[in-house]
Amino acid sequence: MDKVCSRQNTVHIVILVFLSWIGIAHSIDCFKCVSMNGKFPACDDPFHNNHSLQMLESPCMGGRKGRDGLFPATSCIKIAGVFDDTGERITVRGCGLDSGTVTTDTEIIRMSHCGRFYYNDRYVHGCLQSCNDADACNAAPTATPSLSLLAAILYHVTSVNS
């Protein structure tokens, strides 16, 4: 009987330890701003994170192809370039999410690229970059154990051995 209880307690402890590492999903935070011809220098490159908290959107939400409403972003994006027709410079920072289509060319966040592309029905020569691997470029926090769950495990272990 003692071996059965001991085995059950071990299984419970293993399950509790495993569950303590499951974190709550956090959505991505991204900087959101637009600068035309340097009119909003805080948004332009080089980007200095001195006064940018007012530009940080937390959580950053974006539209999804074929769906109504906003959804938590999976990546941050930055567009920097020059309009072909007027020579105006543009910098756009925002967030985006994968809509689940099959090809990379229909998903803006899957691949950074430079060249010519359409933005607001105008040609832009520049680069579109996406990232999801750093804070404010938006990696989720690393998984850490829940302190309350670890305390429960410690209590359980000490009460079983008493």
Instruction: Tell me if 57 is assigned to some domain.
Output: yes
pLDDT at residue 49 in the model? 67
The DSSP secondary structure of 44-103, one letter per residue, reads SSSP-TTS-GGGEESS-EE--TT--S-EE-SEEEEEEEEETTT--EEEEEEEE-----S-
Residue range of the domain that includes 156: 2-23+144-161
Domain count, the chain: 2
Main-chain dihedrals φ then ψ at residue 89, nearest 5 degrees = -85, 145
Instruction: Tell me if 139 is assigned to some domain.
Output: no
Instruction: Tell me if 65 is assigned to some domain.
Output: yes
Residues 40 and 11 in one domain: no
- H-helix or E-strand containing 161? helix 147-161
* Contact between 65 and 55 (Cβ < 8 Å): no
- Tokens 């920072």 belong to 93
First to last CA, the chain: 17
pLDDT at residue 137 in the model? 72
Residues 61 and 122 in one domain: yes
Residues 83 and 39 in one domain: yes
Q: What is the pTM of this model?
A: 0.64
pLDDT at residue 35 in the model? 94
pLDDT at residue 140 in the model? 34
Q: Which of 71, 61, 60, 66 is CA-nearest to residue 29?
A: 60
Identify the three-state secondary structure at position 113.
Answer: strand
Residues 11 and 91 in one domain: no
Which value, to the nearest 10 degrees, does the dihedral of the CA atoms of residues 114, 118, 124, 128 take? -30
Per-residue pLDDT of the chain (162 residues; tens, 9 = 90+): 566 556 666 655 555 444 444 444 456 889 999 999 999 988 888 777 666 678 888 888 888 778 889 888 888 999 999 999 999 999 999 988 877 676 655 666 777 889 998 888 999 999 989 888 765 773 333 444 444 544 555 555 555 555
